Amino acid sequence: MADSPTQSPVQPLARPVSEALEARLGEAVPVLDHGFVRVVDYMGDDAAIVQAARVSYGAGTKTLRDDAGLIRYLMRHRHSTPFEMCEIKLHVKLPIFVARQWIRHRTANVNEISARYSILDREYYLPAPEHLAAQSRKNRQGRGDLLEGEEAAEALRILREDAERSFSSYEHLLAENDDSRQGLARELARMNLPLNAYTQWYWKTDLYNLLHFLSLRADPHAQYEIRAYAEAILGLVKLWTPVAAQAFEDYRLDARSFSGPAMAVLRRMLAGEAVTQAGSGMSPGEWREFEAMLKAP
């Protein structure tokens, strides 16, 4: 009788693993009232950035201190390709109007749920009272003072009633539970949905382009709703590539870039001169931004 074949033991997958992020795979991080971000998969870690920068084989080439120093140098001098060696795939649930802002970042692979095939749940975004604000009088795309009292209550009531009415009409047009009618095609019924309805997508990008996204959307001047997603993602990046994340915060997110005229004004100020906008060579708008950067924490 022939010997039975022996089965080789299963070998562990030989790939870089971020233990902190590995523990969070598939976990939904809540954002807004019904949204979330969760990591589906990722590739690479801090060591992958270093390895690509040194074009060497193997995970460790120098000390951890040297590796951190290199990553910080790469971030400081805006070298991009080593950070492109890391990739991440996210599953995101977000309001449609936030998705339309988000999709302007064209450096990712995106696959969004289609309401041609799926019936969307009756879920829509309503701002919390602390995020109900009037239009800014200085910034055409920003918020001003908070709405209060009856005006705030009316705004929330209108947003809720309009969303409920739109979803009721959507469900009526579909006629999914009414055998007496054919119902309107899903691809047509969806046109009646409000912009605060929730959609979902898979979003895959590399670390360099993700950090560019975060530099814009985690900025205090970004719209609150997309900033909430950016801050949730930044928390995941800190688990995934902690050294790169710290360098990003130090040299990009918390840093300020001054123009040539602004640098000239700074030199004059450091020399003890009192400089005003009129004598600065900057426009009123540039001067306001310059003053805001000087006052920023």
Q: If DSSP states are collapsed to H, E and C, what string results for the chain?
A: CCCCCCCCCCCCCCCCCCHHHHCCCCCCEEECCCEEEEEEEEECCHHHHHHHHHCCCCCCCCCHHHHHHHHHHHHHCCCCHHHHHCEEEEEEEEEHHHHHHHCCCCCCEEEECCCCCCCCCCCECCCCHHHCEEECCCCCCCEEEECCHHHHHHHHHHHHHHHHHHHHHHHHHHCCCCCCCCCCCHHHHHHHCCCCEEEEEEEEEEHHHHHHHHHHHCCCCCCHHHHHHHHHHHHHHHHHCHHHHHHHHHHHHCCCCCCHHHHHHHHHHHCCCCCCHHHCCCCHHHHHHHHHHHHCC
143 φ, ψ to 5°? -105, 155
Which residue among the candidates 186, 190, 217, 252 is catalytic per the annotation? 217
Give the type of residue at 13: L
- Residue 69, both tokens: 């120093």
Radius of gyration of the chain (CA): 25
Give the type of residue at 283: S
State CA 25 to chain mean position distance. 18
pLDDT of residue 212: 97
127-132: long-range contacts, CB 8 A cutoff, minimum separation 24: 127/156, 127/159, 127/225, 128/33, 129/156, 131/224, 131/225, 132/156
Could you tell me if 56 and 23 are in contact, meaning their C-beta atoms sit under 8 angstroms apart?
no
d(CA 177, CA 36): 29
Per residue of the chain (297 residues), give pLDDT as tens: 445 555 556 555 567 889 999 999 999 999 999 999 999 999 999 999 999 998 854 554 566 678 899 999 999 999 999 999 999 999 999 999 999 999 999 999 999 999 999 999 999 999 999 998 887 777 666 777 888 899 999 999 999 999 999 999 999 999 998 999 999 999 999 999 999 999 999 999 999 999 999 999 999 889 999 999 999 999 999 999 999 999 999 999 998 889 999 999 999 999 999 999 999 999 998 999 899 888 866
Place of tokens 């995101």: 92
Place of tokens 């005229």: 261
Best CA proximity match to 123, nearest among 197, 69, 22? 197
pLDDT of residue 6: 58
pLDDT of residue 7: 58
Place of tokens 């994340």: 245
d(CA 114, CA 91): 15
- Asked if 160 is an active-site residue, the reply is no
Could you tell me if 143 and 134 are in contact, meaning their C-beta atoms sit under 8 angstroms apart?
yes
Between strands 198-206 and 109-112, the pairing is: antiparallel
Best CA proximity match to 88, nearest among 16, 190, 11, 172? 16
